Amino acid sequence: MRKSQNQFESLLTARSRSELRSRVGGSGVKVTLPQAQQLVAHARSLESAVQTLRLGIVHTYTSDLLDPWLELAAALQGLDLQTYHAPYGLSPHEAEPHSGLVTHKPDVTLLLLRREDLHPELAKPLVRFDRAQQETIAAEALERLRDVVGRFRAQKVGQIVLTILPPALSSELGIYDAQSERSEHAWWASLKARIGQYLRESSQASLFLDLDDVLERVGRSTFFDPRLWYSAWFPFGAEAAREIARRVIGIGAVIKLPRAKVIVLDADNTLWGGIIGEDGIHGIALGPDYPGNAYLDFQRRLLDFQQRGFILALCSKNNPADVDQVLKEHPHQLLRDEHFAARRVNWQPKSSNLQALAEELNLGLDSFVFIDDSDHECAAVRQALPQVEVIQAPSQPVQLPGCLDAVARLEVLSLTAEDLVKTELYAQERRRRESKEQAEQGGGDSRDYLLSLGMKMSVGLNDVSHLTRLAQLTKKTNQFTLTTRRYDEQQVQEFIRATDWLVAHFSLADTFGDSGIVGLALIHIATPERAELDSFLMSCRVIGREAESAFLHTLLRRLAEAGVKEVVASYIPTPKNVLVENFLPEQDFEKCADGSYRRDLVKTPPRAESYFPITVEVSPGS
Least distance to another protein from the beta carbon of 226, Å?
9
For another protein, the closer CB: 34 or 174? 34
What is the crossing angle of helices 17-27 and 67-77, to 10°?
130
8 A C-beta contact, residue 458 and residue 507: yes
Q: Which residues contact 229 (CB under 8 A, 6 or more apart)?
A: 168, 235
Is residue 235 at the binding interface for another protein, with CB under 8 A as the rule? no
Distances (CA, A) of 239 to 221, 224, 248, 249, 547: 11, 9, 14, 15, 51
SS (H, E, C) 295-334: HHHHHHHHHHHHHCCCEEEEEEECCHHHHHHHHHHCCCCC
Tell me which amino acid residue 421 is: V
CB of 410 to another protein, least distance (A): 30
Which range, of 16-24, 63-71, 331-339, 408-416, touches another protein by CB under 8 A?
A: 63-71
Do 620 and 462 touch, CB atoms closer than 8 A?
yes
Interaction of residue 5 with another protein, rule CB under 8 A: no
Nearer to another protein, 13 or 32 (CB): 32
3-class SS at 384? Answer: helix
Q: Is 161 helix (H, G, I), strand (E, B) or coil?
A: strand
The mark string for 448-487 relative to another protein (x by CB under 8 A, - otherwise) is ----------------------------------------
Instruction: Tell me if 561 contacts another protein by CB under 8 A.
Output: no
Buried b (16+ CB within 10 A) or exposed e, 378-407: bbbbbeebeebbbbbbbeebeebbebbebb
Q: Smallest distance, Å, CB 146 to another protein? A: 33
12 touching another protein, by CB under 8 A: no
Which of 156, 197, 230, 611 is close enough to bind another protein by CB under 8 A?
230
SS3 of residue 370 by DSSP:
strand
The stretch near another protein (CB under 8 A) out of 183-191, 222-230, 413-421, 434-442 is 222-230
Residues between 68 and 87 that touch another protein (CB under 8 A): 68
CA angle, 373 then 367 then 518, to 5°: 135
132 or 169: whose CB is closer to another protein?
Answer: 169
- Is 37 a binder of another protein (CB under 8 A)? yes
Nearest to another protein of 39, 157 (CB atom)? 39
The yes or no reply on residue 32 touching another protein (CB under 8 A) is yes
228 interacts with another protein by CB under 8 A: yes
Residue whose C-alpha is closest to residue 464's, from 494, 423, 486: 494
**Choices 57-65, 88-96, 405-413, 572-580; region in contact with another protein by CB under 8 A:** 57-65
Stretch that binds another protein, among 20-28, 33-41, 146-154, 382-390 (CB under 8 A): 33-41
- Between CA 258 and CA 408 the distance in angstroms is 12
Return the number of the residue (239 or 510) whose C-beta is nearest another protein. Answer: 239
- Separation of alpha carbons 532 and 522, rounded Å: 9
Nearer to another protein, 2 or 376 (CB): 2
Is 227 a residue that touches another protein (CB under 8 A)? yes
Q: How far is the CB of 231 from another protein (least distance, A)?
A: 5
| Identity of the residue, 76 or 580, whose beta carbon is nearer to another protein in the bound complex | 76
Return contacts of 392-400, CB within 8 angstroms, 24+ apart.
392/22, 392/26, 393/266, 393/269, 393/270, 394/26, 397/273, 397/285, 397/290, 397/291, 397/294, 397/295, 398/291, 398/294, 399/26, 400/270, 400/294, 400/295, 400/297, 400/298
d(CA 327, CA 340): 10
Q: Would you say 215 or 238 has its CB closer to another protein?
A: 238
Beta bridge partners of 389: 369
Q: Is 65 in the site for another protein (CB under 8 A)?
A: yes
If one asks whether residue 232 binds another protein (CB under 8 A), the answer comes out as: yes
- Does position 231 bind another protein by CB under 8 A? yes
Least distance (Å) between residue 240 CB and another protein = 13
Residue 9 binds another protein, judged by CB under 8 A: no
Eight-class DSSP state of 49: -
The answer to whether 565 touches 601, Cβ cutoff 8 Å, is yes
33: contact with another protein by CB under 8 A: yes
| For another protein, the closer CB: 64 or 96 | 64
Q: Does 552 engage in binding with another protein (CB under 8 A)? A: no
Q: CA–CA separation, 398 vs 95, rounded Å?
A: 47
Minimum CB distance to another protein smaller for 129 or for 229: 229
Stretch that binds another protein, among 32-40, 162-170, 494-502, 530-538 (CB under 8 A): 32-40
Quick check: 29 binds another protein (CB under 8 A)? Answer: no
Q: Residue 288 carries which DSSP code?
A: S
Among 76, 39, 19, CA closest to 389: 19
Binding residues for another protein (CB under 8 A): 1, 32-34, 37-38, 62, 64-65, 68, 227-228, 230-232, 234, 238
